[in-house]
Amino acid sequence: MNTSALSLTPRQRRAFGLLVGSEIKIAIRRPVGLFVAIGIPCALLVIFGSIPATTRPNQALGGISFFNLYVPTLMVFVLIAVGLAGLPQQLSTYRQQGVLRRMSTTPVPPSWLLAAQTTVSLILAVVGIGILVGAGAGAFGLALPHDLGGYLVSFVALVLTAAATIALGLVIAAVAKTPQIAQGLTAVAFYPLAFFSGLYVPIQEIHSQVVTDISKVLPTGVGFTALHAAFGGHGPGVEPLLVLAAWGVGATLLATRLFRWE
Protein backbone atom coordinates (compact mmCIF):
# COMPACT_ATOMS: atom_id res chain seq x y z
CA MET A 1 0.00 0.00 0.00
CA ASN A 2 2.98 2.24 -0.56
CA THR A 3 1.43 3.35 -3.80
CA SER A 4 -0.99 6.18 -3.30
CA ALA A 5 -4.09 6.31 -5.49
CA LEU A 6 -2.61 9.26 -7.35
CA SER A 7 0.45 7.40 -8.58
CA LEU A 8 -1.54 4.51 -10.04
CA THR A 9 -1.67 4.06 -13.80
CA PRO A 10 -5.11 3.84 -15.45
CA ARG A 11 -4.61 0.08 -15.78
CA GLN A 12 -3.82 -0.24 -12.08
CA ARG A 13 -6.81 1.93 -11.18
CA ARG A 14 -9.05 -0.35 -13.24
CA ALA A 15 -7.57 -3.42 -11.51
CA PHE A 16 -8.17 -1.89 -8.09
CA GLY A 17 -11.72 -0.95 -9.09
CA LEU A 18 -12.43 -4.51 -10.19
CA LEU A 19 -10.92 -5.80 -6.95
CA VAL A 20 -13.16 -3.54 -4.86
CA GLY A 21 -16.15 -4.45 -7.05
CA SER A 22 -15.59 -8.16 -6.60
CA GLU A 23 -15.18 -7.75 -2.83
CA ILE A 24 -18.50 -5.88 -2.72
CA LYS A 25 -20.18 -8.68 -4.70
CA ILE A 26 -18.75 -11.24 -2.28
CA ALA A 27 -19.97 -9.18 0.70
CA ILE A 28 -23.48 -9.18 -0.78
CA ARG A 29 -23.36 -12.92 -1.51
CA ARG A 30 -22.47 -13.70 2.11
CA PRO A 31 -24.68 -11.09 3.79
CA VAL A 32 -23.89 -11.91 7.44
CA GLY A 33 -21.49 -8.97 7.54
CA LEU A 34 -24.07 -6.62 6.06
CA PHE A 35 -26.63 -7.84 8.57
CA VAL A 36 -24.36 -7.13 11.55
CA ALA A 37 -22.95 -3.83 10.26
CA ILE A 38 -26.13 -2.32 8.78
CA GLY A 39 -29.13 -4.50 9.67
CA ILE A 40 -28.71 -4.56 13.47
CA PRO A 41 -28.02 -0.84 13.99
CA CYS A 42 -30.86 0.11 11.64
CA ALA A 43 -33.25 -2.22 13.49
CA LEU A 44 -32.20 -0.64 16.80
CA LEU A 45 -32.69 2.81 15.28
CA VAL A 46 -36.24 1.98 14.23
CA ILE A 47 -37.08 0.35 17.57
CA PHE A 48 -35.82 3.17 19.77
CA GLY A 49 -37.02 5.82 17.34
CA SER A 50 -40.55 4.42 17.57
CA ILE A 51 -40.80 4.39 21.38
CA PRO A 52 -42.21 7.74 22.59
CA ALA A 53 -40.42 7.51 25.94
CA THR A 54 -36.97 7.33 24.35
CA THR A 55 -37.49 10.25 21.97
CA ARG A 56 -38.65 12.71 24.68
CA PRO A 57 -36.09 14.92 26.49
CA ASN A 58 -34.93 13.16 29.62
CA GLN A 59 -33.88 15.07 32.76
CA ALA A 60 -31.70 12.15 33.93
CA LEU A 61 -29.70 12.44 30.70
CA GLY A 62 -29.16 16.17 31.04
CA GLY A 63 -32.24 17.21 29.13
CA ILE A 64 -31.67 15.37 25.87
CA SER A 65 -33.61 12.34 24.63
CA PHE A 66 -32.24 8.82 24.93
CA PHE A 67 -32.63 8.52 21.14
CA ASN A 68 -30.31 11.46 20.49
CA LEU A 69 -27.80 9.88 22.83
CA TYR A 70 -28.15 6.46 21.25
CA VAL A 71 -27.62 7.33 17.57
CA PRO A 72 -23.91 8.22 18.07
CA THR A 73 -23.58 4.87 19.85
CA LEU A 74 -25.09 3.12 16.82
CA MET A 75 -22.66 4.95 14.54
CA VAL A 76 -19.75 3.66 16.61
CA PHE A 77 -21.35 0.21 16.52
CA VAL A 78 -21.35 0.28 12.69
CA LEU A 79 -17.63 1.09 12.77
CA ILE A 80 -16.70 -1.74 15.14
CA ALA A 81 -18.89 -4.12 13.11
CA VAL A 82 -17.14 -3.36 9.82
CA GLY A 83 -13.63 -2.93 11.22
CA LEU A 84 -13.45 -5.44 14.00
CA ALA A 85 -15.84 -8.17 12.88
CA GLY A 86 -15.91 -8.10 9.08
CA LEU A 87 -12.38 -7.19 8.09
CA PRO A 88 -10.28 -9.67 10.14
CA GLN A 89 -12.71 -12.49 9.37
CA GLN A 90 -12.43 -11.97 5.64
CA LEU A 91 -8.68 -11.41 5.58
CA SER A 92 -7.84 -14.43 7.74
CA THR A 93 -10.12 -16.58 5.58
CA TYR A 94 -8.35 -15.35 2.46
CA ARG A 95 -4.99 -16.09 4.01
CA GLN A 96 -6.01 -19.59 5.07
CA GLN A 97 -7.58 -20.48 1.72
CA GLY A 98 -4.56 -19.24 -0.22
CA VAL A 99 -6.25 -16.25 -1.86
CA LEU A 100 -3.42 -13.95 -0.72
CA ARG A 101 -0.86 -16.53 -1.85
CA ARG A 102 -2.51 -16.77 -5.27
CA MET A 103 -2.38 -13.00 -5.69
CA SER A 104 1.23 -12.82 -4.59
CA THR A 105 2.22 -14.51 -7.88
CA THR A 106 0.68 -11.75 -10.01
CA PRO A 107 1.96 -8.25 -10.79
CA VAL A 108 -0.62 -6.99 -8.26
CA PRO A 109 0.60 -7.55 -4.70
CA PRO A 110 -1.75 -9.05 -2.08
CA SER A 111 -1.60 -5.77 -0.14
CA TRP A 112 -4.06 -4.51 -2.75
CA LEU A 113 -6.57 -7.03 -1.50
CA LEU A 114 -6.09 -5.64 2.00
CA ALA A 115 -6.60 -2.12 0.62
CA ALA A 116 -9.70 -3.25 -1.29
CA GLN A 117 -11.10 -4.90 1.84
CA THR A 118 -10.50 -1.73 3.82
CA THR A 119 -12.22 0.28 1.09
CA VAL A 120 -15.23 -2.04 1.19
CA SER A 121 -15.34 -1.67 4.99
CA LEU A 122 -15.37 2.10 4.61
CA ILE A 123 -18.11 1.95 1.97
CA LEU A 124 -20.21 -0.22 4.30
CA ALA A 125 -19.59 2.23 7.13
CA VAL A 126 -20.65 5.19 4.97
CA VAL A 127 -23.83 3.37 3.91
CA GLY A 128 -24.66 2.29 7.48
CA ILE A 129 -23.99 5.67 9.06
CA GLY A 130 -25.74 7.43 6.16
CA ILE A 131 -28.88 5.39 6.80
CA LEU A 132 -28.67 6.05 10.56
CA VAL A 133 -28.35 9.82 10.13
CA GLY A 134 -30.76 10.09 7.19
CA ALA A 135 -33.51 7.92 8.66
CA GLY A 136 -32.86 9.19 12.18
CA ALA A 137 -33.28 12.83 11.16
CA GLY A 138 -35.94 12.23 8.52
CA ALA A 139 -38.23 9.84 10.37
CA PHE A 140 -37.43 10.02 14.08
CA GLY A 141 -36.40 13.61 14.76
CA LEU A 142 -32.68 13.09 15.35
CA ALA A 143 -31.03 16.37 16.35
CA LEU A 144 -28.35 17.19 13.76
CA PRO A 145 -25.28 19.42 14.27
CA HIS A 146 -26.27 23.11 14.27
CA ASP A 147 -23.67 24.41 11.87
CA LEU A 148 -21.05 23.48 9.33
CA GLY A 149 -18.40 23.32 12.06
CA GLY A 150 -20.48 20.69 13.88
CA TYR A 151 -20.69 18.56 10.74
CA LEU A 152 -16.98 18.97 10.15
CA VAL A 153 -16.06 17.88 13.67
CA SER A 154 -18.52 14.97 13.46
CA PHE A 155 -16.89 13.90 10.22
CA VAL A 156 -13.40 14.08 11.72
CA ALA A 157 -14.56 12.12 14.77
CA LEU A 158 -16.11 9.45 12.53
CA VAL A 159 -13.01 9.18 10.36
CA LEU A 160 -10.71 8.85 13.38
CA THR A 161 -12.97 6.27 15.05
CA ALA A 162 -13.15 4.33 11.79
CA ALA A 163 -9.35 4.44 11.48
CA ALA A 164 -9.01 3.13 15.05
CA THR A 165 -11.50 0.25 14.65
CA ILE A 166 -10.19 -0.76 11.22
CA ALA A 167 -6.61 -0.70 12.47
CA LEU A 168 -7.62 -2.85 15.46
CA GLY A 169 -9.30 -5.23 13.00
CA LEU A 170 -6.03 -5.42 11.06
CA VAL A 171 -4.16 -6.24 14.27
CA ILE A 172 -6.57 -9.16 14.82
CA ALA A 173 -6.11 -10.23 11.19
CA ALA A 174 -2.36 -10.03 11.70
CA VAL A 175 -2.28 -12.07 14.92
CA ALA A 176 -4.94 -14.68 14.06
CA LYS A 177 -3.55 -17.64 12.14
CA THR A 178 -7.00 -18.99 11.28
CA PRO A 179 -10.49 -17.49 10.77
CA GLN A 180 -11.57 -19.34 13.93
CA ILE A 181 -8.93 -17.57 16.02
CA ALA A 182 -9.91 -14.28 14.39
CA GLN A 183 -13.52 -14.89 15.36
CA GLY A 184 -12.52 -15.60 18.95
CA LEU A 185 -10.36 -12.50 19.22
CA THR A 186 -13.10 -10.40 17.66
CA ALA A 187 -15.61 -11.68 20.20
CA VAL A 188 -13.23 -10.87 23.08
CA ALA A 189 -12.71 -7.31 21.80
CA PHE A 190 -16.20 -6.70 20.43
CA TYR A 191 -18.36 -6.86 23.57
CA PRO A 192 -16.28 -4.59 25.82
CA LEU A 193 -15.83 -2.11 22.98
CA ALA A 194 -19.56 -2.17 22.23
CA PHE A 195 -20.27 -1.74 25.95
CA PHE A 196 -18.14 1.39 26.19
CA SER A 197 -19.83 2.84 23.12
CA GLY A 198 -23.00 2.74 25.25
CA LEU A 199 -24.69 0.01 23.26
CA TYR A 200 -26.22 -1.76 26.27
CA VAL A 201 -26.65 1.18 28.63
CA PRO A 202 -25.52 4.82 28.38
CA ILE A 203 -22.13 5.19 30.06
CA GLN A 204 -23.33 8.38 31.86
CA GLU A 205 -26.02 6.35 33.62
CA ILE A 206 -23.60 3.93 35.22
CA HIS A 207 -22.11 6.57 37.56
CA SER A 208 -18.91 4.63 38.08
CA GLN A 209 -15.58 6.42 38.10
CA VAL A 210 -13.78 3.31 36.82
CA VAL A 211 -16.17 2.93 33.88
CA THR A 212 -15.90 6.62 33.05
CA ASP A 213 -12.10 6.46 33.20
CA ILE A 214 -11.97 3.45 30.89
CA SER A 215 -14.41 5.06 28.46
CA LYS A 216 -12.00 7.99 28.20
CA VAL A 217 -9.30 5.65 26.97
CA LEU A 218 -11.01 3.04 24.79
CA PRO A 219 -11.59 4.13 21.18
CA THR A 220 -15.31 3.36 21.27
CA GLY A 221 -15.88 5.33 24.47
CA VAL A 222 -13.88 8.26 23.14
CA GLY A 223 -15.51 7.95 19.71
CA PHE A 224 -18.95 8.07 21.26
CA THR A 225 -18.08 11.08 23.42
CA ALA A 226 -16.64 12.98 20.45
CA LEU A 227 -19.61 12.21 18.20
CA HIS A 228 -22.17 12.99 20.87
CA ALA A 229 -20.50 16.32 21.58
CA ALA A 230 -20.21 17.19 17.89
CA PHE A 231 -23.86 16.36 17.21
CA GLY A 232 -24.95 18.24 20.31
CA GLY A 233 -23.33 21.42 19.07
CA HIS A 234 -20.64 21.73 21.73
CA GLY A 235 -17.32 20.60 20.28
CA PRO A 236 -15.56 17.61 21.83
CA GLY A 237 -12.28 19.47 22.22
CA VAL A 238 -8.96 18.23 20.94
CA GLU A 239 -8.21 15.58 23.55
CA PRO A 240 -10.65 12.84 22.43
CA LEU A 241 -9.60 13.32 18.82
CA LEU A 242 -5.95 12.90 19.79
CA VAL A 243 -6.76 9.74 21.74
CA LEU A 244 -8.56 8.34 18.68
CA ALA A 245 -5.68 9.29 16.39
CA ALA A 246 -3.23 7.60 18.78
CA TRP A 247 -5.27 4.37 18.58
CA GLY A 248 -5.33 4.54 14.81
CA VAL A 249 -1.61 5.16 14.43
CA GLY A 250 -0.56 2.71 17.16
CA ALA A 251 -2.74 -0.14 15.89
CA THR A 252 -1.69 0.46 12.29
CA LEU A 253 1.98 0.30 13.23
CA LEU A 254 1.38 -2.88 15.22
CA ALA A 255 -0.59 -4.50 12.39
CA THR A 256 2.10 -3.58 9.86
CA ARG A 257 4.74 -5.18 12.06
CA LEU A 258 2.78 -8.35 12.73
CA PHE A 259 0.97 -9.00 9.46
CA ARG A 260 1.92 -12.14 7.54
CA TRP A 261 0.75 -12.77 4.02
CA GLU A 262 0.98 -16.55 4.46
Partner 1 sequence: MSTQQLIQAEPGPSVSVSSDRSPAPVIEVAHLRKAYGTTVAVDDVSFTVHAGEIFGILGRNGAGKTTTVECVTGLRTPDRGEISVLGLDPRRDRRELHERVGVQLQESAVPDLMRVAEAVELYASFYREPADGRELIASLGLEDARQTYFKHLSGGQKQRLSIVLALIGRPEIAVLDELTTGLDPEARRDTWRLIEGVRARGVTIVLVTHFMEEAERLCDRVAMIDHGRVVALDRPAALAVAATTSKRVRFTTTEPFLDELLLELPEATAVAHHGLEVLVAGTGDLVTAVVLALHRAGIHAEDIQTETANLEDAFLTLTDEANHSATNGETR
Residue placing its CB nearer to partner 1 in the complex, 63 or 107:
107
Quote the Cα angle for 115-86-94, to 5°.
60
DSSP summary character for residue 31: T
Options 15, 42, 131, 143; binder of partner 1; rule CB under 8 A: 15
Cβ 106 to partner 1, closest distance in Å? 5
Options 8, 14, 32, 146; binder of partner 1; rule CB under 8 A: 14
**Considering the rule CB under 8 A, would residue 7 count as an interface residue with partner 1?**
no
- The span from the CA of 67 to the CA of 42, in Å, is 13
The residues, any chain, with a CB within 8 Å of residue 231's CB and separated by 6 or more, are 68, 71, 72, 143, 144, 145, 150, 154
Helix (H) or strand (E) holding 57: strand 57-58
**Considering the rule CB under 8 A, would residue 18 count as an interface residue with partner 1?**
yes
CB 227 within 8 A of CB 145: no
Stretch that binds partner 1, among 8-16, 38-46, 138-146, 160-168 (CB under 8 A): 8-16
Residue placing its CB nearer to partner 1 in the complex, 29 or 207:
29
For partner 1, what does the binding mask look like between residues 91 and 110, x meaning CB under 8 A? Answer: ---x--xxx-xx-xxxxxx-
By CB under 8 A, name the binding residues for partner 1. Answer: 11, 14-15, 18-19, 22, 25-26, 29-30, 94, 97-99, 101-102, 104-109
